[in-house]
Amino acid sequence: MRSNMTAFFPLLLLICTLSTVRLQINSDSKIIPLLNQGMETAQTSDPKETCKPDINSVLREMSALLAELKAEIRHLQKENEAQAAKVRKLELQKTELDKLKEQHEAQAAKVKELELLRAEMDKLKQESQAQGGELITIKSRANITENQVEVLKREAEVKRVAFSASLLGTGSQNIGPFSTHMPLVFKYVVSNIGNAYNSHTGSFTAPVRGAYHFEFYMYGHHSHPSGAVLVKNGEHIFIAYEYSSSSHSVSSSNGVTLLLEVGDVVFLRLWNGAWIFDNENCHSTFSGHLLFPM
C-alpha cells in the first residue's frame, strides 16, 4: 500500500497543478483573450506556424485527464479503505490469536501442574493403601487382643458367681402347706454377684460350666413338717425335711455340690404338705456359689 501511495504522489502533484491552472482560468477571464491575442499576434507575426495546438483543446484534454485521475483516486481510496479495514481485522485477529495463545500456554501450564498433582496424589494413594493395609492388620490384631481381653474379662466375671437370698426381707409369713410341690421364690437378695440368681422366679442359671455349691435352710412350726427339695433342671437332687411332735419350732437344711453346664437351672420346691416360715430375721435362706469353672 505504501508503494502505491509513493507511485501516485507525482501524479497527485500534477493534478493539483492543473487544478490551480484551471482555477486561475476561471477566476481571471482575461487569460483566454490574452492567449487568443497572443496566438493572433503569433499568426500575424508568423503565418507559417499554423500547427500550434489550441490551448482550449489542451485544457479540455487536461480536464478529462484530471477527471479520470480523480476517479482513479477515489477508486484507490476505496481500495485503501478496504485494505485498511482488512488490516484492522487482521490486527484484531492477531490480537485474539495472541490472547488465545496466552490462554493456551496458561492452560498448558495448568495441565502440567495438574499432572504433577495427579502423580503426587497417586503416590499418596499408594502410600495410603499401604498404610490402610497396615492399619487393617493392626486393627485385626487389636480386635483379636480386644476379644481376648473380653474373653478373659468374661472368664474373670463368671468366676465371680455367688448369691444369697431369704424368703422375706420385712414382715413375717407362713408359706404352705400345699398338696403339690410348689417353687419357692426367695425375694430378699442379700448378694447376687454375677447376676445368675433371679429374684422374680427364685431360680439360679449357671453362666459357665463348672462346679457349684448350694445350701438351703428351712424354718417352720411344730404343727406341720418343714421341708424343701433342691431341683436341677426339673430333677430332685437333695431334700431338707424336718417334723417334730413337740411344741418347739423345727428347721432343716442341706447342701450339695453340682457340676452344671451353661444354662442349667437350680431352684427349690416346697415339699407337698410342708410349710415354712420367715420374717425380717431371715430364717429360711437359699445360697450358692461357683467353686471353679471347668
State residue 52's pLDDT score.
Answer: 53
State residue 27's pLDDT score.
Answer: 45
Q: What band does 25 get if pLDDT is binned at 50, 70 and 90?
A: very low
Cβ-based neighbour number of residue 62 at 10 Å: 17
pLDDT tens per residue across span 52-104: 558 888 888 888 899 999 999 999 999 999 999 999 999 999 999 999 998 98
State residue 158's pLDDT score.
Answer: 59
State residue 156's pLDDT score.
Answer: 64
State residue 237's pLDDT score.
Answer: 95
**Which residues pair with residue 197 across a beta bridge?**
204
pLDDT tens per residue across span 146-194: 888 877 776 666 578 999 999 987 877 888 788 889 999 999 999 999 9
Residue 249 · residue 287 · CB < 8 Å: no
State residue 16's pLDDT score.
Answer: 54
The mean predicted confidence, pLDDT, of the chain is: 82
Query: Which helix (H) or strand (E) is 129 found in, with range?
Result: helix 55-158
pTM recorded for the entire structure: 0.48
Name the residue with higher pLDDT: 150 or 248. Answer: 150
Q: What is the CA radius of gyration of the chain?
A: 67
- The percentage of the chain sitting over the pLDDT mark of 70, rounded to a whole number, equals 79
**C-alpha cell belonging to residue 139:** 486393627
If DSSP codes are grouped into helix, strand and coil, which group holds residue 167?
Answer: coil
Tell me the C-alpha to C-alpha distance, in Å, between residue 187 and each of 137, 184, 255, 266: 51, 9, 20, 16
49 backbone φψ class: left, alpha, beta (φ>0; ψ -120 to 50): beta
Name the residue with higher pLDDT: 266 or 139. Answer: 266
**C-alpha cell belonging to residue 197:** 440368681
State residue 157's pLDDT score.
Answer: 61
Instruction: Pick the closest to residue 272 from 144, 206, 176 (CA basis).
Output: 176
- The percentage of the chain sitting over the pLDDT mark of 90, rounded to a whole number, equals 35
Q: How far apart are CA 195 and CA 208, in angstroms?
A: 12
- Whether the predicted pLDDT of 116 surpasses 50: yes
Q: How far apart are CA 64 and CA 229, in angstroms?
A: 153
pLDDT tens per residue across span 204-222: 999 999 999 999 998 887 7
